[in-house]
Amino acid sequence: MLSEKLKIRLTLFLAILSWLLFLFFGFFELLADRNRMTLDAPLLVPQIFLTIFILTVYFFYRLHISKAESVNFVDLLWRVFITGLVTSIGSLIVRIFFIVFADSAISQSEITINFFYSIFTGLVVIFLVSTFVVWKRLILYQKSKNLIKLWAFFEVFLAAALLFDLFTNRSNVNFNIALVFLSSFALLLSFNLKWVAYLNFRQKWTSILFILLSAIYVFGFYDTLNFFSNLAALEFDLQNRVFVMALFVFTILYAGISILVTLFNLPTSSVFERKLQEAMDFQKLSHITKGSSTIEETAELLLESCMSAVFADAAWIVINDAQPIQKHQFISEKTIGQIVDEVKNESIKNTLTFRATEEPSAFKAISAIRHPDFKSIVALPIFIKKEQIGVIALVNEVSDAFNKEMIDICITFVNQASTSIENIRLISEALENERYKEQLSIAKNVQKSLLPEKLSHNDSFDIAAYSVAADEVGGDYYDIIETERGIFSLMVGDVSGKGTSAAFNMAQLKGIFHSLARQKKFSALDFIIQANKALSKCLERSSFITASYLKIDTKKKTINHVRAGHCPSIFYSRSEKKACFLDNKGMGLGILRNSEFDQYVEESTITYQPGDLLILYTDGITEARNFKGELYDAKGLEHSILQYVDLSVNDIKEKLITDLNKFLGEEKLDDDYTIVVVKFEQ
């Protein structure tokens, strides 16, 4: 495949070559005629090269002005003006030559006349053909199927006129019929001026000036053409060619109608500019506009608005939400899949497959497609916080159906829709956060009500407790009740999980504790076994509870204790001046939910003396880590306890918490932690 640049250079070279060959064979025919030489095909060879020259000039400008969307309307008219200016200067130089040397023999020489006429022919062809290509781009702006067909017929008839010119002349009646026919086509096409509406006030006046000057160039060329036609020395006359005369008519018709329509549209320029400004303001306001009631309604509105703005034949939209949304109009899901697979444009492909990283420009959002039903596509990503969450694609049955102005409007709609979707999501998240906060508030109140405000005790011991949740709601529980006179049941538990579920499991644990602990016949072991049975029926399969349960008999001065997978309690003996861990075996409640649970727990009994200490805690303390990653562990807690054994229970509690915080430094606890301090009075 040849590149566009190479094609342009090749057509330019062929145009120059064909013109030189036209000039050469023209002079050859002239010399043969003067020397009365008989040729097999007089005038046909130079006419053929003139036809080739016209075609190569046409393809050169067609390639050079390849896309109307890539050049704005004023720039297109500027090209007509500047080409006309250059060619008119060349034509004027030719006229000046004949004026200056009007009475000399050189100006009356057949060779001189035909040489300058050949130069003039090249200038006329360049101007008319280049203007024809520009007029085509303007006429086919916002084209329809019928307009494309009409223009195709016009080009076919013009091509036929090129062949017609090789075998006929102006005296032939068919010449006039063909010229009238092509002129009628030109007049019909000249009323396609949709591009005028998109010009602002200044651009319209500039366009009028350029078109008016182009019309003056046409009259200047035609006047020079008449000048040469009056000279008897011409070997051939452009006025005898239907193609050239048809281009003259088409150029002047479209120029004249364009000037009139643009003049009539001048009063509406201010309205158009105001509407454009309103669209821009709408885009700016989109960031603070409230969203629609639902994302689905926003998607429907965006789809309809964009289809209307760009005159799309079909469209679809996809939005990745909690429940993905996909809507399409006048196109099936099967066809959508085919189009996505066949798109070659990388920017469009990334957009359709949700890989776009930035909002594309209007030009990059447009692409041609090869599909039996659709020929052009626009794909725009929908972004929220620089993340593509959706795409809207619009397709048309004809190629080059979309332009920059259309896409700019769609981008405005997409930005507004993005803001609306973001607002809907924020509102939904806000409602969800409110519900979550409400749940946390309920759970916090539940948890607060579960922990005792006062800890039961008698003169035989004193008790203090402290509990902190790592989050809003924790899963630690402690309580103590006097089940019989002088006998106290003490429990510390750690519920798996956090939030409302942990709070409600704590509520179940408290109910079981208060109901079973009051059963006088139950030992500490019996309590744990029965608690496991009760919790196995109400806990979720993924939940469990670790606990330490102790029965303190202040009459016998004994402590009956059981550990259900919980941290071993620490007992300090004042007489021995050392601490030990009550680490008898045990399994968490709700882990094993059958009759074999009693095989995994055991009960122990110890006696206490005045001045002894009992410390119960949860793993939030022993598993705490400082910035070095070091564990506080049970040994750290034991070391701290040994320093404060002579203090009161409240002072011991405060000191233990202070030591823990010093160890942590600026690190925060990852888990809830609870500590219960019991000191037996002397």
Say if residue 132 is in the same domain as residue 215.
yes
Q: What is the CATH number of the domain that holds 488?
A: 3.60.40.10
pLDDT in the model for residue 117: 86
Say if residue 86 is in the same domain as residue 117.
yes
pLDDT in the model for residue 258: 93
Q: What is the CATH number of the domain that holds 328?
A: 3.30.450.40
Say if residue 76 is in the same domain as residue 55.
no
pLDDT in the model for residue 45: 81
Over residues 489-508, the mean pLDDT reads 82
Report the length, in residues, of the chain.
682
Say if residue 520 is in the same domain as residue 659.
yes
Q: Which of 48, 64, 80 is the last residue of a domain?
A: 64
pLDDT tens for each residue of 206-261: 999 999 999 999 999 999 888 888 876 677 788 888 999 999 999 999 999 999 99
Write down the mean pLDDT value for the chain: 85
Residue 437 belongs to some domain of the structure: no
Say if residue 372 is in the same domain as residue 404.
yes
Q: Which residues, 6 or more positions from 585, have their beta carbon under 8 angstroms from its beta carbon?
A: 563, 600, 601, 602
Query: Picking from 62-71, 135-144, 559-568, which range would have the lowest pLDDT averaged per residue?
Result: 62-71
pLDDT in the model for residue 655: 93
Integer distance in angstroms from the first to the last C-alpha of the chain? Answer: 104
Over residues 297-309, the mean pLDDT reads 83
Going by pLDDT thresholds of 50, 70 and 90, the confidence category of residue 280 is low
pLDDT in the model for residue 274: 55
Residue 278 belongs to some domain of the structure: no
HSE-up of residue 48 (Cα within 13 Å, Cβ side): 6
Say if residue 356 is in the same domain as residue 486.
no
Q: Is the pLDDT of residue 433 over 60?
A: yes
Residue 577 per-residue DSSP state: T
Has this prediction a pTM greater than 0.95?
A: no
Residue 30 belongs to some domain of the structure: yes
Residue 438 belongs to some domain of the structure: no
Residue 255 belongs to some domain of the structure: yes
Say if residue 345 is in the same domain as residue 492.
no
Place of tokens 């727990």: 601
Q: What percent of the chain has pLDDT over 70?
A: 90
Residue 439 belongs to some domain of the structure: no
Tokens coding 56? 């190569």
Residue 356 belongs to some domain of the structure: yes
Say if residue 379 is in the same domain as residue 415.
yes
Cα 12 vs. chain centroid, distance in angstroms?
43
pLDDT tens for each residue of 634-672: 888 999 999 999 999 999 999 999 999 898 887 777 778
pLDDT in the model for residue 277: 54
Q: Which of 21, 44, 64 is the last residue of a domain?
A: 64
Say if residue 617 is in the same domain as residue 518.
yes
Going by pLDDT thresholds of 50, 70 and 90, the confidence category of residue 489 is very high
Over residues 42-71, the mean pLDDT reads 78
Say if residue 130 is in the same domain as residue 211.
yes
Domain span holding position 316: 297-427
SS3 annotation, 406-449: HHHHHHHHHHHHHHHHHHHHHHHHHHHHHHHHHHHHHHHHHHHH
Domain total in the chain:
4
Residue 445 belongs to some domain of the structure: no
Say if residue 483 is in the same domain as residue 630.
yes
Which helix (H) or strand (E) segment is 526 a member of?
A: helix 524-538
Looking at residue 274, its amino acid is R
Say if residue 34 is in the same domain as residue 76.
no
Over residues 622-642, the mean pLDDT reads 88
HSE-up of residue 426 (Cα within 13 Å, Cβ side): 13
Over residues 252-279, the mean pLDDT reads 77
From CA 479, how far away is CA 477, in angstroms rounded? 7
